């Protein structure tokens, strides 16, 4: 008598999305490094106060700027470790901390059926400071009851996490992906760090010419950071060589 062949049962889809271990561990030394740099700049500024007052003032201001970044870096580090998104059994389950883009968003802990997703929406958000734009791509799920789950924003040039989640949700739910273009954020200057607010998802998109200017502006930020660092190093070297 022949025995019945075993019936294979497909395992249900179950995937968890998080920042990689490398991305999480790399954030841990950020705050201590910033603090050490601030102490070093403040100490060096004090040493040259009598000989080069303007350089001392510049270094003290740099130290204050680094200290001002500390709370944000600590919050970013915690967010990297806490964020988790799971798609399983036809459901989406999210643990989203506030820090998931340049602008803080309301924290979300929620489970919802994928069948409730009406559309996946995405846009580029431009945050401007002293004439330079910083870009990120935001992703949001619009549900059939009109509510939203704002997944977060992927910052250039980091590896996208929220885009991966959003596209998986779209594939599993059958919801369309709508690209809403580029929008300007409300913050500028120092507010980009602490007072930034994400635009409403109903905000009108920028015209093509303005969006192109924002992209060109964003491309200059790396060059300006490099030039600023080089200038600081040059000033310190010149002081060591000719300061006495």
What lies within 8 Å, CB to CB, of 206 at 6+ separation is 126, 181, 182, 183, 184, 214
Q: What is the pLDDT, as a whole number, of residue 231?
A: 61
Share of the chain above pLDDT 90, in %: 44
Beta-ladder partners of 17: 85
**Averaged pLDDT score across all residues of the chain:** 84
- Dist. CA 61–CA 120, nearest whole Å: 44
What lies within 8 Å, CB to CB, of 44 at 6+ separation is 59, 236
Beta-ladder partners of 111: 93
CA distances from 201 to 42, 60, 147 (A): 43, 41, 11
- pLDDT-derived band at 214 (thresholds 50, 70, 90) equals confident
Task: Decide: 239 and 48 in contact? Cβ < 8 Å.
Answer: yes
Q: What is the pLDDT, as a whole number, of residue 2?
A: 56
Q: What is the pLDDT, as a whole number, of residue 225?
A: 58
- Dist. CA 181–CA 197, nearest whole Å: 18
Helix (H, G, I), strand (E, B) or coil at 23: helix
The full set of domain ranges for the chain reads 13-82, 115-238
Q: For 28-77, how does the pLDDT look when each residue is reduced to its tens digit (9 = 90+)?
A: 998 888 889 888 888 888 887 887 788 788 888 888 888 888 888 899 99
Q: What is the pLDDT, as a whole number, of residue 235?
A: 60
For the purposes of burial, counting CB atoms within 10 Å of the CB of 224, is it exposed (0-12), middle (13-18) or buried (19 or more)? exposed
Q: Which helix (H) or strand (E) holds 41?
A: helix 30-47
Residue 1 predicted with pLDDT over 80: no
- pLDDT-derived band at 113 (thresholds 50, 70, 90) equals very high
- Dist. CA 28–CA 177, nearest whole Å: 35
Lowest mean pLDDT among 86-100, 193-207, 219-233: 219-233
Residue 219 predicted with pLDDT over 80: no
Please state whether the predicted TM-score (pTM) of the whole model is above 0.85: no
Q: For 130-176, how does the pLDDT look when each residue is reduced to its tens digit (9 = 90+)?
A: 667 788 999 999 999 999 999 999 987 678 999 999 999 999 999 99
- Give the Cα-Cα-Cα angle 208, 211, 215 (nearest 5 degrees): 135
């Amino acid at each position: 008598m022949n025995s019945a062949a075993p019936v294979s049962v497909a395992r249900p889809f179950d995937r968890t999305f998080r920042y990689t271990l490398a991305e999480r561990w790399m954030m841990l030394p950020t705050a201590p490094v910033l603090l050490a740099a601030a102490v070093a700049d403040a100490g060096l500024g004090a040493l040259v106060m009598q000989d080069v007052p303007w350089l001392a003032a510049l270094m003290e201001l740099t130290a204050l700027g680094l200290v001002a970044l500390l709370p944000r870096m600590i919050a970013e580090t915690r967010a990297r470790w806490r964020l988790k998104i799971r798609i399983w059994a036809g459901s989406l389950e999210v643990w989203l901390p506030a820090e998931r883009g340049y602008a803080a968003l309301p924290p979300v802990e929620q489970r919802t059926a994928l069948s409730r997703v009406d559309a996946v929406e995405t846009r580029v958000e431009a945050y401007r400071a002293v004439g330079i734009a910083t870009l990120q791509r935001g992703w949001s799920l619009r549900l059939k009851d009109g509510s939203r789950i704002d997944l977060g924003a992927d910052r250039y040039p980091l590896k996208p996490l929220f885009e991966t989640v959003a596209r998986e949700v779209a594939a599993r739910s059958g919801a369309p992906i709508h690209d809403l273009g580029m929008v300007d954020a409300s913050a500028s200057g120092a507010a980009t760090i602490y007072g930034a607010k994400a635009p409403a998802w109903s905000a009108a998109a920028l015209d093509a010419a303005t969006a192109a200017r924002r992209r060109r502006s964003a491309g200059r930020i790396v060059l300006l950071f490099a030039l600023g660092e080089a200038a600081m190093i040059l000033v310190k070297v010149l002081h060591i060589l000719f300061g006495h």
